[in-house]
Chain A
Amino acid sequence: MDAGNEAGKPAASADAPQHRPAPNIPQFTKDEDLHAYREMLLIRRFEEKAGQLYGMGLIGGFCHLYIGQEAVVVGMQMAGEDGDQNITGYRDHGHMLACGMEAKGVMAELTGRRGGYSRGKGGSMHMFSREKQFFGGHGIVGAQVSLGTGLAFADAYLQNGKVSFTYMGDGAANQGQVYESFNMAALWKLPVVYVIENNRYAMGTSVARASAQTDFSKRGLSFGIPGEQVDGMDVRTVREAASRAINHARSGQGPYILEMQTYRYRGHSMSDPAKYRSKDEVSKMRDEHDPIEMVRKRLIEAHGVPEADLKGIDAKVREIVNESADFATHDPEPDASELWTDILLEARA
């Protein structure tokens, strides 16, 4: 299936589905591992439940699941501070949960109910929380990169000491406005960390088939933006790299690029059979590099956490997710009058 392989191009080996863990892995304390475990598990279980509700016809339209990529957003959040902004594309449920948005509100938005974060008017790709500094949820590939740079522009303008975490996929990283934004962010030294979640496929097109430069950490090179490739399956390496990037941005040195090498287990969206990659590739990642399983093992083997304790966490997470699904299936749809609200804000006299 890999055209690069057939042609024997060197690019193919760079794209071969082998995941190389980083050397010198930083260690987490038991509490940090427990925190990461719980946060990632919540995303995993939430997404599985969303997939189930989609299968039952309760979630409509598009639904892009984050399963497999959990370590990226959880590690980033562990390095950030309150008030830092987050913005991403359409694979956004994990980011919202990691930002502290409630599972109930997210799930109810997926089912298009009035208790959803956007009162049922946004859907899977369009949720926001001013309180949690989550700025969406954007459905136009790459648009969030300019918008996230704008958040950082405001941070610099207001001199508030905050940083914008602007996420994009390997697909979005090829959009023109990304480089317009890199240019201005570097020019004006804006406090933004660009997180490129390289899950190897832009919908069904592998990185090697879409990108002349497959090392995304180099994408800011000509603007003088430092970048690094990060093992995005290991929450510890994510947090460490994130801390470096955030310090750089917060201290006024400008933008920073993190290429998170990660993997999505599911298709691009619910209606994607994912025939562009082999089953072995998927199961190898799942079996050998699962971000949650790695932490689980560590908690038991290195930190001596009893399995029963982890089962307790599992049960709690399942309870939150089940409650969110229950709420999202029983909460009423928005009132018909909502059709005409939130189009314009009233101008104050």
Chain B
Amino acid sequence: MATDILMPALSPTMEEGKLAKWLKKEGDSVKSGDVLAEIETDKATMEVEAIDEGVLAKILVPDGTENVAVNTPIAIIAAEGEDVAAAAASGGQSKPAATEGGAPAPTPDMQAEGMADKSAPTAKTGDDAPRAPAAPAIIKNTAAAPVMDEFPPDSPLETQSVREALRDAMAEEMRRDDKVFVMGEEVAEYQGAYKITQGLLQEFGARRVVDTPITEHGFAGIGVGAAFMGLKPIVEFMTFNFAMQAIDHIINSAAKTLYMSGGQLGCPIVFRGPNGAAARVGAQHSHDYAAWYSNVPGLKVIAPYTAADAKGLLKAAIRDPNPVIFLENEILYGQSFPVPKIDDLVLPIGKARIHRPGTDVTIVSFSIGMTYALKAAQALAEQGIEAEVIDLRTIRPMDSETIVESVKKTGRCVTVEEGFPQSGVGAEIAARLMVDAFDYLDAPVLRVTGKDVPMPYAANLEKLALPNVAEVIEAAKAVCYK
């Protein structure tokens, strides 16, 4: 049967082109791979190759024709043994099966009925514009946010540093599951640059506690590849500043593959290490990446403050089948907190905790930001302002509900983080509150953040660049109009 040769699209955006020149003439026999014609687009001259074998029966669009629309029949090929004259006479009417789909593919049936109601107003779009279905709820908080009630009330407590809690979390999970291993720079022989992996080599051996060369990009990729195979790597970055070298694998390889594979290939991996400023280490060692990673679908992002949260959430992160960014803080490593002495301390990812209940203003923070928030709350209480302090613990998925419920009560909100202001975690919280608690807000949401400058080295400047307790107090009083 005769086959139409169609004007091909040679790029995703091409709609028409010029048929510059025929390299075969009517009556020529052609085989797969032969160049039939040259086509000019605004960008380049390209060749049209034959796919099928046969005889070029008729040229429908002559040399030099401009503005030939994509998918216009430009020639007819008669199949081997077919009557060439008859094929030519079909006059571009022959439609091989393959051209049937030449018209733009039908858009998926996007019915509005699948879209959940939203409390916030949505912009009206043109009636024919396809609309995305509503996102499913990720956080399903049925109970009120816990106020340190996640553990049995009679659990015995022991005092532990964040450092010890993190190490115990890894050791417990490594005992539980042979597929869990830790890799990174100085994690084994050196016992960890910050001693988080202390003793792990001795207990688990070099197979499971793997010292890497200083090659973040490479070992992050190796970790992701191992996770594709079903292992559960804990990749330690000496600091998240160095993970910038590896961010391609964290985002393009770890976060996106599940989606790109239609759900086939998960990536159960934890990237952990200290994040944000330590003290006097300058701009390249002080960046807080919480907002960066929280921007990426396919990742979970955790940034604990207390030792109990560090332990319970790291254990949860290691068990989680998804890539988890676990942001620690060097200054918190040495701080001690009560940790429940229970067998298997695993906390839910994606749930904030009300660290200090209050009624007048909501202060939301995470990680080391909590130290400013809590000290400010103490000072505010002395001045008659009862602040409710929420520890986010997980940045993504973010527990909006706990924040919104608190703001419904207090009508005011201040966010605290060491990261930069633009597109920060505080900016995200402010945007969510504007949509979900607009009618409850009695004042604009204020953000206390790191200053919008690279971290300076000089002690006085560094102090100025970081948030401080006075700024939190000032912001809280401002939203209370006091």
Contact = CB atoms under 8 A, between A and B. Distances in A.
Contacts of B441: none
B396 to A, nearest CB: 10
Interface stretch (B209-217, B406-414, B430-438): B209-217
Interface in B225-280: 225-231, 248-249, 252-253, 257-266
A105 to B, nearest CB: 10
Nearest to B133: A336
A330 B48 CA distance: 25
Interface bracket on B: 35 or more
Interface string A262-274: 0001000011010
Interface stretch (B7-15, B287-295, B466-474): B7-15
A271 B12 contact: yes
A33 to B, nearest CB: 21
Given A154-B225, A343-B297, A184 B218 contact: yes
B368 to A, nearest CB: 27
B242 to A, nearest CB: 13
Interface stretch (A6-14, A47-55, A212-220, A227-235): A47-55
Interface in A284-343: 286, 322, 325-326, 329-330, 332-337, 339-343
Contacts of B104: 57
Contact of A150 (B8, B102, B229, B322): B229
A118 B10 contact: no
B228 A60 contact: no
A48 B32 contact: yes
Interface in A122-165: 122, 126-130, 135-140, 143, 145-155, 157-158, 164
Contacts of B224: 146-147, 150
B459 interface: no
A61 interface: yes
Given A51-B49, A147-B224, A330 B101 contact: yes
Instruction: Name the residue among B51, B130, B226 with the largest chain A CB count within 10 angstroms.
Output: B226
Contact of A146 (B9, B217, B297): B217
Interface string A101-116: 0000000000110001
A330 to B, nearest CB: 7
Contact of A157 (B10, B133, B181, B215): B181
Contacts of A128: 257, 260-261, 264-265
Interface string B163-203: 00000000000000000010000000000000000000000
B149 interface: no
Interface stretch (A17-25, A70-78, A175-183, A239-247): A175-183
B223 interface: yes
A286 to B, nearest CB: 7
A157 B233 CA distance: 11
Interface in B7-37: 8-12, 14, 32-33
B427 interface: no
B6 interface: yes
A56 interface: yes
B220 A146 contact: yes
B252 A116 contact: no
A344 B297 CA distance: 8
A3 interface: no
A62 B230 CA distance: 30
A277 interface: no
Contacts of B257: 126, 128, 136
B200 to A, nearest CB: 16
A135 B51 contact: no
Interface string B296-333: 01101000000000000000100111100000000000
Given A58-B105, A177-B217, A343-B297, A270 B264 contact: no
Given A150-B225, A345-B258, A57 B71 contact: yes
A187 interface: yes
Nearest to A61: B12
A140 B264 contact: no
Contacts of A64: none
A281 to B, nearest CB: 14
A337 B133 contact: yes
A146 B321 contact: no
B321 A60 contact: no
A345 B321 contact: yes
24 contacts: A52-B51, A55-B48, A56-B6, A117-B264, A122-B261, A143-B221, A149-B225, A150-B226, A150-B229, A153-B222, A153-B226, A157-B207, A157-B231, A180-B219, A183-B218, A271-B12, A273-B47, A333-B107, A333-B108, A336-B109, A340-B135, A343-B258, A343-B259, A343-B297
Interface of B: 6, 8-12, 14, 32-33, 43-49, 51, 70-71, 97-102, 104-111, 114, 130, 132-133, 135-136, 181, 207, 212-213, 215, 217-231, 248-249, 252-253, 257-266, 297-298, 300, 316, 319-322, 349
Interface of A: 48-49, 51-58, 60-62, 85, 87, 111-112, 116-122, 126-130, 135-140, 143, 145-155, 157-158, 164, 176-177, 180-181, 183-184, 187, 265, 270-271, 273, 275, 286, 322, 325-326, 329-330, 332-337, 339-348
Given A118-B262, A180-B213, 8 more contacts: A54-B9, A118-B261, A121-B259, A150-B229, A329-B101, A335-B109, A336-B132, A347-B319
Going nearest first, the 8 A-B pairs with the smallest beta carbon separation are: A150-B225, A146-B221, A180-B218, A55-B8, A329-B101, A154-B229, A119-B262, A271-B11
